[in-house]
Structure 1
Amino acid sequence: MPDNSADYEDSDELLPTFDEDDHPARVWNLLWLVNPGDEEAALQQFDAWREARAGAEHDSGDEQWLWDLKDAIDWRSGFYVDWKDIDSFVAAIDELAARWNLRIDWGGDLDDEDFAQDLDVPALMTTAHDRLREHGYTVWNWNTGGDGYAGWIALSRDDEAMLALCSLLGVEVRPGSDPF
């Protein structure tokens, strides 16, 4: 009889494992998570990231790698907006969600001044997170240490892998329901 014991293993054992000494491989895995089903986009972004990293001497322990990654994925697989720029945040999230033919119901007409006057990026991020969770996606945001909001979207089934990987990378992330 064939050995099918792998079909019955604990789901925690199916989570990917990451080599702590291979920083580029961890970045590749992150790109794989934020580009579900689109290996070509992940590869293009990885190449752009490596090109940015080759331009100067960097240590994998510095934080510049994350800013280089932000530049490589911005508006394709990630977002970075000023703390008060709700228009750019909405446009970026709408663009990212459109990759999966999804539209965000923002809860009202963003062009209506009465509706939009009390909105801010954290409130909109929470709304986007909630709406995308309904379709199996999670909005993630990372601590920029400044006045901006940055993040990406990944499959909800990869939440534990995202947290484990970001921990190895030294990136403080939270779901979009809990913005920094």
Structure 2
Amino acid sequence: MPDNSDYFDFEEDAHDYDEDDFEARAWNLLVLINPGDEELALAQFNRWRELLADQGEPLEPDSDWIPPLFTAIGWQSGFEVERDDLESLMSAVNELSARFNLQVDWGGDLDDEDFSIGLDGVQLMSTAFDRLRENNYTLWSVDAGSDGFTGWMALTRDDDAMLALCSLLNVEVRLGSDPF
């Protein structure tokens, strides 16, 4: 019998990165919420690091890194709006959608009393989630510790990656159909 031990005697290549690197995970998050636009992701990443440095926050998951992140990505790749400001919520989601040549059909206009009576942000988030899913995008709701609505968009094919990455970053996210 031939000796096949040579075929199974190998060592796994050493990684050229630290698997527990918080900064790398944050970068990957920015790549997910900026699909196809690494230049914008890099600009936001640098802006986020500068904001953390200005606050004296360390680059680690236990630091208060989420508010500076939303400042760095605001109205480009994510949003943070007051809970009762329905117009800003619609505008923010429209801005995110426009980046990908999408337009959300809200089912009406806030100026129309028949549409806006009894309307709330949860309904708007759910509507936006449904309309964006039709175009292979997912609207995410993020628990950023505020009373308002915070969120971002990513490709639907990246849903599992988003959930795994946010778990590693200790960020609670939900589908936009069930916002915080």
Task: Give the TM-score normalised by the residue count of structure 1.
Answer: 0.86
Aligned alpha-carbon RMSD (Å)? 1.4
**SS state at 2:55 partner:** coil
Q: How many residues align?
A: 163
User: Kindly, what percent of the aligned residue pairs are identical?
Assistant: 60
1:94-121 superposed Cα distances (whole Å, 9 cap, x missing partner):
0110001110000122220221121111
Matched, 1:97 2:97: yes
Matched, 1:51 2:42: no
One-letter amino acid of the counterpart of residue 24, structure 2: A
Q: Distance in 2 between matches of 1:171 and 1:127?
A: 23
Asked which structure has the greater CA Rg, the reply is 2
Q: Distance in 1 between matches of 2:72 and 2:130?
A: 26
**SS state at 1:64 partner:** coil
Are the counterparts in 2 of residues 110 and 116 from structure 1 also a CA contact under 8 Å? yes
Q: Distance in 1 between matches of 2:53 and 2:103?
A: 37
Q: Distance in 2 between matches of 1:171 and 1:158?
A: 16
Equivalent in the alignment of 2:175 = 175
Equivalent in the alignment of 1:6 = none
Q: Distance in 1 between matches of 2:30 and 2:55?
A: 22
Q: Distance in 1 between matches of 2:149 and 2:18?
A: 29
Gaps of 5+ in 1: 1-17
Equivalent in the alignment of 1:72 = 72
Q: Distance in 2 between matches of 1:20 and 1:157?
A: 23
Q: Distance in 1 between matches of 2:18 and 2:126?
A: 33
Quote how far apart the aligned CAs of 1:19 are.
Answer: 5.3
1:38-92 superposed Cα distances (whole Å, 9 cap, x missing partner):
1111011001001111213323133521111010001000010111110000000
Task: Give the TM-score normalised by the residue count of structure 2.
Answer: 0.86
Q: Distance in 2 between matches of 1:127 and 1:145?
A: 23
